[in-house]
Copies of this chain bind each other. A is one copy, B any other.
Amino acid sequence: MAPFFQNSAGRLVPDALAGFARAHADIVTLDPEHGFLTARDAAGSRLVGLVSGGGSGHEPLHSGFVGAGMLDAACPGRVFTSPHNRQVYQASLAVARRGGVLHIVKNYTGDRINFGIAAERLAHRGIPCARVLVDDDVASDSASSGAGPGRRGTGGTVLIEKVLGGAADTGLGLAELESLGSALAARCRTLSVASAAHTSPATGEPAFTLGREETEYGVGIHGERAARTVPAAGLRPLVARMAGELLAELSPAAAGDPLLVLVNGLGGITSLELYGICGELVRVLEEQRVGVARTLVGSFVTALDTRGFSLTLMAADWMTLKYYDAPVRTAALRW
């Protein structure tokens, strides 16, 4: 089962969860029966509990973002598979506050269904529940043709979870958080590229193969092949092209606000490359007189060991930046 270091493909996620809970016992608690993580150090000022989740294989998303200032709970599914609605329901019960619970859901069919069923069960129990749908991936925009579920949720999720965490800590109610989250999602767009696919934990084989001089432009975070396989360009033109498409998607609604920029590794890329990419992106944006308010660089929303990166731009007003800058203490994000 090379090249994965695992006891078996079936044990990869449960073993990781147990190890994660052990390594970060000061931050999270694992419910081994229902399979979710909760924050040990929940802020007393919150009126609403924040719950996210999704398929595993995107770590540190979401487990690494459970903790003070960010998520109250995360529900990991199997690799690239939605969590079961029971996980979501139990996690929501565990962290619901007086104002209810907010689900932060990436736009995939399975996630929508399972979070939806959990929300209905919560409603039956009289627990207020609302949903923020994250759909930032411009490459998967099939809504206009009516052929699919629309843009998927990807890198922008970490920014939205951080900002909503900061907002929840100020005591906002459920409707306010839902409204804020939807506005954030509307001002957030992501584009991903890869030079090599992830390896399957089950077979040890790559999900697809690319030629040495090819780049998968608009790759999905489950190893979905992109609509376009393009010749590998130099880094500068590649980043300029991606930035141009993202800016076009954001305008005119987001014009005028400075950007929160995420340069995100998909798993198998080096830190040297990510910072080089960040430099190019900032240069392009500044050339176009677009303000860069914050930059976050690292591997936050991965696709197993995919050799690639994503760029996320979020138009951010001063209140968004205030929530983003608020203190956070999770396994993967601290300031």
Copies of this chain: 2
The answer for the CA separation of A215 and B5 in the assembled complex, in Å, is 10
A4 at the interface (CB under 8 A from B): yes
Contact between A279 and B19, CB atoms less than 8 A apart: yes
Please pick, from B2, B16, B270, B280, the residue contacting A214 in the complex, using a CB distance under 8 A: B2
The answer to whether B22 touches A272, judged by C-beta atoms less than 8 angstroms apart, is no
Bound complex: CA A29 to CA B174 (Å): 42
| Bound CA–CA A273/B5 (angstroms) | 6
User: Can you list 6 A-B pairs with a CB-CB distance of less than 8 A?
Assistant: A1-B232, A2-B232, A5-B238, A23-B275, A23-B278, A267-B268
Q: A5-B277, A15-B276, A57-B272 are in contact. List 15 more A-B contacts (CB 8 A).
A: A2-B215, A3-B307, A5-B269, A7-B234, A7-B280, A12-B272, A13-B272, A15-B280, A19-B274, A19-B279, A20-B278, A20-B297, A22-B279, A57-B270, A79-B272
**A-B CB proximity, top 6 nearest:** A19-B279, A3-B195, A59-B271, A19-B275, A15-B276, A16-B272
A positions within 8 Å CB-CB of B: 1-7, 11-13, 15-20, 22-23, 56-57, 59-60, 64, 79, 193, 195-196, 204, 210-215, 232, 234-236, 238, 263, 267-280, 282, 295, 297, 302, 304-305, 307, 309, 334-335
